[in-house]
Amino acid sequence: RPERIIVGEVRGPEVFDLLQAMNTGHDGSMGTIHSNSPRECLNRIESMIAMGGYTLPQKTVREIVVGSVDVIIQAARLRDGSRRITHITEVIGMEGDVIITQDIVLYNIKGEDANGRLLGEHVSTGIGRPHFWERARYYGEEQRLANALEAMEKRAD
């Protein structure tokens, strides 16, 4: 039985199998999905599950997603051709039928240099204690998480 499951790219209904595995004791698992934003990623997961012919109610699908996905890390190719992580977004839970997320880190473009290369930095959104804090504590990563968030806050000041 593997401790982690890593899927290079999820393109279709196999996303349901990945979510089921993540939701049944395979913490630290991950997969990649092409999307333009964290919100679109969640929408694509729902669409890919529907492609598999599953007839689950939308709210049930969203509850499975919320129970399986803690964090979405969005990477994007910027207009200068570089790739940057543009969002680190946590999946918090649900309010009614809506999946609630919050950005923890965003990439802020400050300008560009003389060669047209974009200049920017990752900035904290001020969330000092994400909802996955207790899970970080459980795995002995609380201090590293605290240090990373604190360092980012100091840079933002």
Question: What is the per-residue pLDDT for 25?
Answer: 74
Q: Domain segments of the chain: what residues?
A: 1-69, 70-157
DSSP letter string over 77-103? E-TTS-EEEEEEEEEEEEETTEEEEEE
CATH code matching the domain that covers 1-69, chosen among 3.40.50.300, 3.40.50.150, 3.30.2320.50, 3.30.2270.10: 3.40.50.300
Could you read off the pLDDT tens digit of each residue along the chain, which spans 157 residues? 677 888 889 999 999 988 988 888 778 889 999 999 999 999 999 999 999 988 899 999 999 999 999 999 999 999 999 999 999 999 999 999 999 999 999 999 999 999 999 999 999 999 989 999 998 999 999 999 999 988 888 776 6
Compute the chain's Rg from CA coordinates. Answer: 17
Question: What is the per-residue pLDDT for 102?
Answer: 97
Question: What is the per-residue pLDDT for 157?
Answer: 63
Are 18 and 4 in contact, with CB atoms under 8 Å apart?
Answer: no
Q: From CA 49, how far away is CA 15, in angstroms rounded? A: 7
